[in-house]
Amino acid sequence: RILKVGRRHGDAAPMAIVELVEPSAPAEAGAE
């Protein structure tokens, strides 16, 4: 799921942000 979010941004920089967002908004990934 985290990889999916990274692809959404289409960048490697946001991938690091996803790490912080993962625990912050896990529902977002499950909403997909």
Which pLDDT value is given to residue 15? 60
Which pLDDT value is given to residue 22? 58
User: Interhelix angle for 2-9 vs 13-24, to 10°?
Assistant: 130
One-letter amino acid identity for 21?
A: V
Which pLDDT value is given to residue 9? 53
Cβ-based neighbours of 14, under 8 Å, separated by 6 or more: 5, 6
Which pLDDT value is given to residue 20? 60
pLDDT in tens, 1-32: 555 555 555 555 666 666 665 565 555 555 55
DSSP one-letter string for the chain: -HHHHHHHHTSSHHHHHHHHHHHH-HHHHHH-
Q: Residues in the chain, how many?
A: 32
The torsion angle over the Cα atoms of residues 20, 17, 6 and 22, rounded to 10 degrees, is 10
Map out the domains of the chain as residue ranges. 2-31
pTM for this one? 0.18
